[in-house]
């Protein structure tokens, strides 16, 4: 069973492989990271890890038993008990409920480890998979319409206090 792990420097080779192998797949539903991301991957990773040290962000990877990265699950812009959730799953890992299960696991970490009370998220209108994961894990639409990478997007929120829908955290 894949394991959710906090991002560490030793994840770098598997993370870069994940991003390269899934670039075209991701670009179909989320804004592309651009060539600079891949050219300067080590520097970008170092920046993310430095942000994580400050507590401004919490980055996670979903790692298969063989060490392969199957997904990224990130909490960014952490402030005042709130954060923005972003996630992406490898094409070959989709359709098995991994994203939903991992977001649920992350919700528990948010409440118990990171002391967060509110999560925000966004997805393009055409990204039905991510919107489904958000809905299944208790996020509700805010009514806010956004522009994400030039595409129409929708805002979501998830309160982590009190009783959650379906007994979730």
Number of structural domains, the chain?
1
The 10s digit of each residue's pLDDT in 96-142 is: 999 999 999 999 999 999 999 999 999 999 999 999 999 999 999 99
Q: Phi, psi at residue 154, to the nearest 5°?
A: -125, 145
Confidence category of residue 161, pLDDT binned at 50, 70, 90: confident
Provide the mean pLDDT of the chain: 93
Q: Are 77 and 122 in contact (CB under 8 A)?
A: no
Say what the pLDDT of residue 166 is: 44
pLDDT(164) > 70: no
47: β partners: none
Bigger pLDDT: 27 vs 60: 60
Give dist(CA 145, CA 122) in Å, integer. 9
What is the CATH number for 96?
3.40.630.30
The 10s digit of each residue's pLDDT in 15-41 is: 999 999 999 999 888 778 889 999 999
What is the three-class DSSP state of 109?
A: helix
Query: What separation in angstroms does the CA of 51 have from each of 44, 54, 129, 137?
Result: 11, 5, 28, 26
The model's pTM? 0.91
Which range marks the domain in which residue 114 is found?
A: 3-167
Among residues of the chain, what percentage have pLDDT more than 90?
85
Give dist(CA 135, CA 116) in Å, integer. 19
């Amino acid at each position: 069973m894949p394991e959710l792990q906090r991002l560490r420097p030793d994840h770098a080779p598997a993370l870069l492989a994940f991003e390269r192998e899934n670039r075209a797949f991701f670009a179909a539903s989320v804004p592309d990271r651009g060539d600079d991301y891949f050219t300067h991957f080590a520097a970008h990773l170092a920046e993310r890890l430095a942000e994580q040290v400050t507590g401004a962000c919490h980055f996670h990877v979903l790692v298969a038993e063989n060490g392969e990265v199957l997904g990224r699950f990130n909490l960014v812009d952490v402030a005042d008990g709130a954060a923005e959730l972003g996630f992406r799953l490898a094409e070959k890992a989709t359709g098995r409920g991994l994203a939903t299960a991992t977001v649920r696991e992350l919700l528990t970490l948010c409440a118990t480890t990171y002391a967060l009370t509110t999560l925000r998220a966004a997805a393009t209108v055409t990204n039905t998979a991510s919107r489904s994961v958000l809905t299944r894990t208790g996020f509700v639409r805010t009514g806010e319409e956004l522009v994400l990478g030039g595409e129409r997007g929708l805002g979501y929120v998830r309160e982590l206090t009190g009783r959650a829908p379906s007994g979730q955290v």
